[in-house]
Amino acid sequence: MAYNLAPLQNLIEQFERMQGIGHKTAQRMAFYVLGLSREEADAFANAITDAHTKIKQCKICCDLADDELCPICKSESRDKSVICVVEDPRDVAAIERTHEYKGVYHVLHGAISPMDNIGPDQIKIKELLARLSEGTVDEVIMATNPTVEGEATAMYISKLLKPMGITVSRLAYGVPVGADLEYADEITLSRALEGRSLI
């Protein structure tokens, strides 16, 4: 691109580093910034620094928090005897959207993946075990992703927890609601058959 202006080029490169943002989009974003008022541009820059400085990990569940504890761990109305284990803070948000789950969470920040050199020590399994050692938890729901890595992580953790006398469950597999059976893949469909229930 023929922009010989270092500050503009630098901004385009900053946007371009984000996953899924190509050169054209990064350029459009940079021009958006140039079109902002001085106050808006400052607010944008501050939002980045702020989010980065103020957002930490909850001391209990390792979810994102702007305080020692996240809003869910702080809440009096959540059932602390059930822990739902997820890979990522975004998964917490996804489950919260169902408004069905009243327990608390534990965010692993990843899944065991020997291919990527991520072993049990690189994700927040120690922290989960520490929480369970207090003996107040009855059930752990494994809600890691239905991928090879997510499965392996769920299996690994469940093997650690069973000797502790804690019920370990796994999210149900099956056909997604509203989907077309015709387009369901074989593995999902065979899991849905296995897990069929009486009506």
Which residues of this protein are in contact with a second copy, per CB under 8 A?
Answer: 1-8, 10-11, 14, 17-21, 25, 27-34, 36, 38, 41-55, 64-66, 71, 89-90, 92-93, 96-97
Task: Write down the least CB distance from residue 15 to a second copy, Å.
Answer: 9
Contact 92, 63 (CB under 8 A): yes
Closest residue by Cα to residue 83 from 59, 64, 101, 57: 101
Q: Measured from the CB of residue 112, what is the shortest distance to a second copy in angstroms?
A: 19
Comparison of 10 and 81: residue with beta carbon closer to a second copy: 10
Measured CA to CA, the distance from residue 30 to residue 97 in angstroms comes to 33
Tokens of 192: 């849905």
Q: Which is nearer to a second copy, 84 or 157 (CB)?
A: 84
Return the number of the residue (90 or 159) whose C-beta is nearest a second copy.
90
8 A C-beta contact, residue 142 and residue 157? yes
Cβ 171 to a second copy, closest distance in Å? Answer: 18
Of the pair 63, 149, the CB lying nearest a second copy is at 63
Closest distance of CB 133 from a second copy, Å: 28
Minimum distance, C-beta of residue 49 to a second copy, in the bound complex (Å): 5
SS3 content of the chain, % helix, strand, coil (to 5): 45, 15, 40
CB 142 within 8 A of CB 121: no
- What count of residues does the chain have? 199
Question: What's the CA gap between 63 and 164, in Å, rounded?
Answer: 24
Q: What is the DSSP letter of 85?
A: E
